[in-house]
Structure 1
Amino acid sequence: MATFANQQLVLTAIGEDRPGIVSELTKLVSDCHCNIIDSRIAILGNEFTFIMLLSGDMAALCRVEHLLPLKGMEMGLLTMMKRTSQHIPGEYSAGYTLEYHGVDTPGTLSKFTGFFAEQNISICSLKSDTYEENEQLMMRCEIEVNIPVEVDSDEFKMKFEDLSRKLNVDYIFRRIR
């Protein structure tokens, strides 16, 4: 008999932030005999967002898919789920973290992410926000990227430096792997 232990499910829950949400959702997952492989939490405005990658056999994932919508309604959460499979990473020459900050200007993040797409560079993680400094709205962003082996890292860095100068942002580029 074939085993389905490698089955995976991405679960997302969004709702008004309050204590206990994580506890209730992780209890449901545990009670269904699933394992949390990866997770992220963010508070955006007054909304709590929780994303989990679960693994388990077919029956365990089916239990989560069956029980989560009712639990979500009880808790006032919008929930979504999608079956997936284990991520198979490409061949990368290096991984970098990029942190940049500057005056909040519409379109900056879009220009950076578009630049990465044009260079065929994968974004693994992204966090951005705004803050006030000296009565001016500022932005900051942290992006983790993987550079494929076919991309010349030095050429990429020079192009990135040009873009940063044009967008008037300060940045730190750190190799992490």
Structure 2
Amino acid sequence: MTTFANQQLVLTAIGEDRSGIVSELTKLVSECNCNIIDSRIAILGNEFTFIMLLSGDMAAISRVEHTLPTKGMELGLLTMMKRTASHQQNEFSAGYTLEYNGLDAPGTLSKVTRFFAEQNISISSLKSDTYEENDALHMRCEIEVNIPIEVDADAFKIQFEHLSNSLNLDYIFRRIR
């Protein structure tokens, strides 16, 4: 076990998008002797969002917790942190990526995610957006899921076919693991 495996911290930063923010935040993490073991960046509207999973020994994690609020204020960022532990993945029979698109309609993403919840299927990644095409607003979404062993994947796909038809969605399932 390495010294980076001792403690974990989820760090989120949100603020106006501009160059140099990632550099400043990753520099702070490095100077505190933490390791970035996972991260995501997204631009939503004019706002920059950065989520990192850090690991380090107790002293390193504490340094980040104490220095980030000041650095966040200097950079005009809203920051949030939470200690966590390594993710314990449940057994699953397969992992899939679902990509769907259609005319933008309120509630579509809610209905799709509720369908997964009702099937006891965990969403591990989700990205959605809208775009204009032929003078109409369309939506597209990419969701990564893990199908538990107890869920019949073929029956699940048939049930999703019914849902997608009722929502007028085009979709593709791809097995990824």
Q: Secondary structure at the match of 1:172?
A: strand
Superposed, 1:17-166 pairs within 5 Å as 17-166=17-166
Q: Secondary structure at the match of 2:151?
A: coil
1:159 to partner: Cα distance? 0.4
1:6 to partner: Cα distance? 2.2
CA distance in 2, matches of 1:50, 1:4: 21
Check whether the contact 2:4–2:34 (CA below 8 A) recurs between aligned residues: no
Structure 1, gaps ≥5 residues long: none
1:11 to partner: Cα distance? 0.1
Check whether the contact 1:14–1:50 (CA below 8 A) recurs between aligned residues: yes
Check whether the contact 1:4–1:58 (CA below 8 A) recurs between aligned residues: no
Check whether the contact 2:98–2:174 (CA below 8 A) recurs between aligned residues: yes
How many residues end up aligned between the 2 structures?
175
1:4 to partner: Cα distance? 7.9
- Tell me the TM-score normalized by structure 1: 0.98
1:10 to partner: Cα distance? 0.1
Distance 1:172 1:5, change over 3 A: closer
Report the identity percentage. 82
Residue identity matched to 1:141: C
- Tell me the TM-score normalized by structure 2: 0.98
Check whether the contact 2:4–2:55 (CA below 8 A) recurs between aligned residues: no
**Ranges of 4+ aligned residues in structure 1 off by more than 3 Å:** none
Residue identity matched to 1:41: I
Residue identity matched to 1:16: E
